[in-house]
Each structure stands twice: as structure tokens, then as C-alpha cells.
Amino acid sequence: MTMHNIVNQEQWVAQRKALLVREKEVMRQQDQLARERRALPWVKVDKQYVFDTQQGKRSLSDLFEGRRQLVVQHFMFAPGQERGCAHCSYMADHTDGALPHLSQRDVSLVVVSRAPLASLQRMREEMGWQFKWVSSGDSDFNYDFDVSFAPEELAQGEVYYNYIGQPFPHEDAPGVSVFYQDDAGVVYHTYSTFGRGVEVMMHTYRLLDLTPLGRNEDALPYTMAWVKHHDRYQQAPAAKSCCTHA
């Protein structure tokens, strides 16, 4: 950390008020961006997707649970893995507290992974999570929404992720997708975000951005190298990155 200027309270307030002008400008820009996001056209979801849930087989429409809007966290957890991605877990750690507030705004949230339901439930219990976590392993859902990649795609050295062709080191990737269901039960895909866009679920980062040291990641071997499953912070150093956060 570089040495900062030390000033009196009057000087500090003057500089803080100057920064506040910039903060308000950025907030207005974010408000406008949100309006433009909501104005995007929608795509009708014609394919029937089936998910394994604690209540049995369910459709995408069922996951709305009677609400009109659905947010999906695409959680990296492939069949055969012991645990899902630590970075996706970091996202999921912020979810449970938001659920009652989202439901008041006509929004359901569900986490989706390709691993078998039994694996998801085991990790969910280990982590103390309460949100709904379902398996898409028997459907094309992950592939159709560009967060899972076939072996032949990976072998070519480039996959379609975050709206471009790029190298990617894993068979699954993180993302957030949003859907709307109308009164007739028709489901539409309205939005998806990937890469750094998934920071929308990382409230801890928003708080770190307020602190003097910030995220403090510049000297790390890769972004988010410090992040672990929350029950493993007292164990060995973080493992190799499980996703690209860029």
C-alpha cells in the first residue's frame, strides 16, 4: 500500500465531495444502463428442458414457482467432480439473504449445475445453503445457454463464451441468466451475463471496493486466487483457478 496524503477534515471533505460528483455521475449511467438492459428484445424459449430437483423432475416453467421472473446462476459443477467451483460458491454465498426480498419483487432464483442432484445436495448441506439447486445434467440447458462446452469444442482450443470465441480451460463456465414467463405460461430469455458480469452476485467485492486496500489482488497469480469455499479458509492455500473471471 502506497503512502497516502494526510489532510485535515475540511480538506478531506472537499476532496470527498469532488469524488461524490463522479460517483453520482456513474450511478446515473448505471441507471440508464439498467433501463437499456430492460429494453432488450426477448427470445422465446421453445425447447423443453427438464431438471432434477428435490421435488422430482421439473420444467423450466416450474422453476418460476408462480412468479413472473426467474434468475438462474450457472454454477460450475460438472459430473464426476467432488465439489463445485470455489468462485461460483463465492457467488452463491451471497444468495440466501436476498431470496425473501427477490420474492417480494416477483423474482425467483435457482442455481443450476450439470452434476447429479445427489452431489448438489451434499455440497449444499456442507455449505449450509438454503437456496434451490437443481441439476440440468439430463438436458441441453447449459450448452444452449453457453456455459458448458462439448469435448470437441474444447479440443479445437476455442469455445463460444461471453459472446465471443475464446480459449477456455474448463468444460463449464460461470454465468447468470434471466427469464420471464407471461400469463399464458410462455417463457422468454431476457438477459445473460458472463465473465466479470457475474460480479452482480458478489456483494463482498462491492464492500472491498470501499476499503483502502480494495480487492488487493494485483500481486496474486490470478484474479480471485484468494477465494476458497467458505468452509476451507483455514486449510491449505487456494487451488488452481476454476473459472476465468475477466
DSSP β-bridge partners for residue 52 = 57, 135
Residues 158-173, mean pLDDT to the nearest whole number: 96
For 43-232, CATH gives: 3.40.30.10
Give residue limits of the domains in the chain: 43-232
Greater confidence, 243 or 76?
Answer: 76
Confidence band, pLDDT 50/70/90 cuts, at residue 161 = very high
- pLDDT > 70 in the chain, percent: 94
Q: Is the pLDDT of residue 235 over 80?
A: no
Confidence band, pLDDT 50/70/90 cuts, at residue 36 = very high
Residues 177-202, mean pLDDT to the nearest whole number: 97
- For residue 186, what pLDDT is reported? 98
Name the pTM for this structure. Answer: 0.91
